[in-house]
Amino acid sequence: MATYTTNGGITKIATGDETGTWGDTTNVNFDIIDRLTNGVLSVTLSGTTHTLTTSNGTVSDGMSKVLVLGGTPSGTNTITVAPNNAQKLYFVKNGSGQSVIFTQGSGSTVTVADGSSDIIYCDGNSGAAAVVSLSSNFGDYLKASNNLSDLGNVATARTNLGLVIGTDVQAYDAALASIAGLATVADRMLYTTGPDTYLTTTITSFARTILDDPDGAAVIQTLGITATAADLNLLDGVTATTAEINYLDITTLGTSEPSKVVTADANGDVTLTEELKAKSYNETYATVSSSSGTVAFNCESGNVFQLTLTENITSLVLSNPPASGTAYGMTIRIIQDSTPRTITWPAAVKWAEGVAPTISSASGAVDIITLFTTDAGANWYAFSAGQDMQ
């Protein structure tokens, strides 16, 4: 009675079996062997599961050596290798658009990402069968920690690059020695001269992939830089030295420090830790006007104001003074109307002996009033700096 090989499902013809069909069975066996050794199978995936089956005595999908994954799976697709007691070796290329998980039993699985390839084997351990990747460590020699940063040691680099001592090793060693003399990993990546064309071409091709990309944005992204090309171009033409750039390295935003740039805080305010020495000092001169007997002076708008009277002022508002403990002073230039107008000062404005000055009544007369506060506007101390200054 015919039996079958465990892993390949090849028919094992028993003595006296297959009468009249010997040739057919043998040809199928040869087709199975051909598929086991060289077969390339395009696997069309759909949904999230697929079974890769080896059927006894029949040419079947699970017998192929190379699996090219395609189709339109709806998400990560799990391929189950059956039966779970068959030992298998597969070369996998995944172009399905989704990650694919290979499993055979309750043991380990292997995930092949979209666009990646792998070499995997299934151990056929029945219910506990596991799938293992053989190529997971093949790329270690490309890691910078194993190669580019270790090229300073020729022997180590030779080992990392898989070079075997022999008739050609002198050429590799000469190239490695030349690279070893370079100062940095970046210099070693850009190394372009030496006796060994393959070694230098490999390194420079890798460098050019990053540094010679015509798409500047792609280069920046590849290098892990979060700034845009426009951000970096802001530095184009800057001639500052390192020491000068370090002037920007302040401890607290909105404060001044010795030998540092003065910066403003989020409110645009600057606090100086020492005296201010200026060649010239200017103040903002703001014009205000009244409406329906009300006029407002915003302390954030300036320190010197002009008010031309066009009506009697019954409500004078002094808004946005600094916090208590910070002094603020203002000067108001008042220009009288052709019809004499009056000003009613708020109770927070304090005058000498409690008496407010009378505004000059002549048309066009100019009065100067100064005020200051130290308690956030709870009290304004006011003085007449000059009257009837026509």
> Do you find a cis peptide bond into 340, omega within 30 degrees of 0?
no
35 within some domain: yes
Burial class (CB in 10 A: 0-12, 13-18, 19+), 329: middle
Residue 306 domain boundaries: 285-386
The DSSP 8-state label assigned to residue 19 in this structure reads T
Q: Is residue 237 part of a domain?
A: no
387/243: higher pLDDT: 387
Q: State yes or no: pLDDT of 117 exceeds 80.
A: yes
65 and 52 assigned to the same domain: yes
In a domain, 216, yes or no: no
Convert the pLDDT of each residue in 14-61 to its tens digit: 777 777 777 778 888 888 888 888 889 999 999 999 999 998 888 899
User: Which tokens hold the place of 74?
Assistant: 């709806």
Q: Both 10 and 71 in a single domain? A: yes
Q: Residue 60 and residue 39: Cα distance in Å, rounded? A: 11
Has residue 145 been placed in a domain? yes
Please indicate, yes or no, whether residues 106 and 158 belong to a single structural domain of this protein: no
Q: What is the pTM of this model?
A: 0.39
Q: What is the pLDDT of residues 128-158, one digit of tens each?
A: 999 999 876 655 444 444 454 554 555 565 5
Number of domains in the chain: 3
Q: Per the domain annotation, does 226 fall within a domain?
A: no
Last residue of a domain, one of 160, 192, 211: 211
Which of 155-159, 188-192, 248-252 has the least mean pLDDT? Answer: 188-192
Pairwise CA distance, residues 299 & 295, whole Å = 13
Domain boundary among 180, 195, 211: 211
Shared-domain flag, residues 126 and 160: no
Q: How far apart are the first and last CA of the chain?
A: 130
Tell me whether residue 49 is in a domain. Answer: yes
Identify whether residues 79 and 111 lie together within a single domain.
yes
Domain boundary residue, one of 136, 169, 185: 136
- Establish if 66 belongs to a structural domain: yes
